[in-house]
Chain A
Amino acid sequence: MDLELLLALAGPALLGATLGTLVGVLPGIGPAATMALLLPTSFALEPQAAIVLLCGVYFGAQYGSSTTAILLNLPGEASGVVTAQEGHRLARQGRAGVALALAALASLLAGLISAALVAGLTPWLARLALGLGPADVAALVLLAAVALVCIGQRQRRKALAMLLLGLLIGLVGTDFGGGAPRFTFGLAKLRDGIGLVPLIVGLFGLGEVLASHTGLRAGSRIAPIGRLWPRRSELQASLAPALRGTGVGFLVGMLPGGKTLLASMMSLALERRVARDRAQYGHGALSGVAGPEAANNASAQAGLVPLIGLGLPGNPAMAVLLGAFMLHGIAPGAVMFERTPELFEAIIWGMVLANLALIVLNLPLIGLWVRVLALPLGLLTPLIVVISVLGVYAQSRLPFDVLLLALFGLLGYLLRKADYPLAPIVFGAVLGPIFEDNLRRAFMHARGDGLELLAQPLVLPVLGVVLLMLLWPLWAGWRRWRSA
């Protein structure tokens, strides 16, 4: 790794980590929408700098969320919910600074270990993927989509409906098999399909702003920060939870549908189980901050293993990252390792730099982020709206995309009101075309023989797991009904 490239990556890593921390701290616009807004900017950068910038945003958002979770008991991201449980109790005891520092150090440890694991595992997975045919890839994409709906979702039927809606949105455009327009309603502007940027920014950015106009407002008190640097005994007590959290988070993050929230919850459950003094839980346990924070950072970074190795995104942010790869004409997987091996090396070093940047940004500058939190809503909301609209317009310079943004913003608002999850829509829209492309190629290779598709090595086992995931809730419901 030459110093020149390292210096070239330092800027995007620092910028990404800063923007990520900002969106993690601020309510309104999440990491997926921010990454989507940065897509046009990333097009002007070198591919490795663009990917490092977007990764920095995602990792930074995970950490930024813990600041609000600990100080305010209001997590900016889902994974911060778990940190808030013990972290805010520590803050109430006047130990907010220690909790914040431990969260940052645990995240750093998890980030560095995860970068090493991603560097080791991804090329191996990509080599394995070389043996997979289009039928196997289609089956894996199906597994990723169904896992998102079935794992960690309280309302599976609603999530499934949203996944199908996303698939429908992904179908809009020109059929790449025959060239016929599909669901374009005679509009020439829809022939290229619906862009990922208006979809994600509309659902997550504008939709959130519209919901905030009509919804709940919270009055919260920021806890005093107090002493920032932890004592040696506190560091020693947090090391093992952080390492366990890293292991749990990395395993969960690599699974299709593995969410950072799930990783944090599993880490907290594990820490409660192995704790010598379980009574400290509920009264501010340091291991309850270090473990989940390490888990959510490791989980966020582990998502890069299936994304770069197989081209399978595990969450909406990874779907946007896949979009960035596509914008730069890079196909993740074995081909990427053959044609541009230096890109993967740059991404790994970028991950390390982004994690180091987070420590630099978060510990000395914690006071600045607290001040950002105090920005009035009357300033924040118009800023988010105008950045969203100008970002979408700048990306394509088409007023039609702004109309789509308004439409998806309204849709996001209505779906939020009706308590529908929005992430499966993005999944459907991104994974649908990949699934269709691979399924078509698989049928062409098999000359239309469906049975030949089932003979592929991965297809039957993966379809079995998919069926199990879909039928398990029905089976569990039937057993409950029978026992009742």
Chain B
Amino acid sequence: MQIVLVDNKHPAGAADADCVAECAPDCVADAAAAGRLGPALLTLSGVLGFALLAPVAGVALSTWLLALLASYAAGNRLLPAALLACGLTLLLLALFVLGLQVPFHLLPPAPSVWLGWIAGLPGSAAP
């Protein structure tokens, strides 16, 4: 059975990483993956995008964008990455909202206020 793994260097230190390399003589460097900064920057921009967009565009949308960028950076094509992002967003929002009881706003805050006001929900003030 052939599988592909990242080189899981232990974060505790270089000595451990050396041991890993020594213990895994079968490891082969993937020339295509080595030294690529683009995916790392894409993932990082996803995290930054989440931090900037979550308060104004809603956690669901920010999570989807983050998952899309992280998934694309991990080597998926755009369409599978978008589908994967949808699945991850629904799964994780369900986990955090239902499991951890963390009240996330699924819509951006501004439309939420408008919709609440139009629907006449209690506690919804006019925008």
Q: Which residues of A contact B (CB under 8 A)?
A: 27-28, 30, 40-41, 44, 69, 72-78, 81, 84-85, 88, 152-155, 158-159, 203-204, 206-222, 259, 261, 316, 373-374, 376-383, 385-387, 389-390, 393-394, 397, 399-400, 402-403, 405-406, 409-410, 412-413, 416, 419-423
The 8 A CB mask of B10-51 against A (1 = contact, 0 = none) is 111111101110011111111001111101100110111011
What distance in Å separates the Cβ of A166 from its nearest Cβ neighbour in chain B? 14
* B43 touching A74, Cβ below 8 Å: no
19 contacts between A and B (CB under 8 A): A73-B23, A74-B20, A77-B10, A78-B10, A81-B23, A206-B43, A214-B33, A217-B7, A218-B5, A218-B27, A220-B24, A221-B1, A377-B6, A381-B74, A387-B92, A399-B52, A399-B55, A421-B13, A422-B11
Which chain B residues lie closer than 8 Å to A27 at the CB level? 5-8
* B47 touching A219, Cβ below 8 Å: no
Instruction: Spot the interface stretch: B65-73, B108-116, B119-127.
Output: B65-73
Which chain A residues lie closer than 8 Å to B3 at the CB level? 219-220, 222, 373-374
* A406 touching B39, Cβ below 8 Å: no
* A405 touching B47, Cβ below 8 Å: yes
* A386 touching B6, Cβ below 8 Å: no
Main secondary structure of the interface of A (DSSP, over half): helix
Q: Which of A75, A206, A217 has the most CB of B within 10 A?
A: A217
Q: Which of B14, B18, B27, B100 is A220 in contact with, Cβ under 8 Å?
A: B27
Which chain B residues lie closer than 8 Å to A209 at the CB level? 43, 70
* A78 touching B19, Cβ below 8 Å: yes
Which chain B residues lie closer than 8 Å to A422 at the CB level? 11-13
What distance in Å separates the Cβ of A370 from its nearest Cβ neighbour in chain B? 8
A475 CA / B34 CA spacing, docked (Å): 41
Q: Which residues of B contact A (CB under 8 A)?
A: 1-16, 18-20, 23-30, 33-37, 39-40, 43-44, 46-48, 50-52, 54-55, 59, 63, 66-67, 70-71, 73-76, 84-85, 88-89, 92, 96, 100-102, 104
* A409 touching B47, Cβ below 8 Å: yes
A137 CA / B52 CA spacing, docked (Å): 42
Q: Which of B10, B33, B48, B89 is A217 in contact with, Cβ under 8 Å?
A: B33
Q: Which of B23, B29, B59, B75 is A85 in contact with, Cβ under 8 Å?
A: B23
* A421 touching B28, Cβ below 8 Å: no
Q: Which of A76, A211, A386 is B70 in contact with, Cβ under 8 Å?
A: A386
What distance in Å separates the Cβ of B18 from its nearest Cβ neighbour in chain A? 8
Residue of A nearest to B64 (CB): A386
Q: Which of A88, A213, A220, A259 is B39 in contact with, Cβ under 8 Å?
A: A213
What distance in Å separates the Cβ of A331 from its nearest Cβ neighbour in chain B? 26
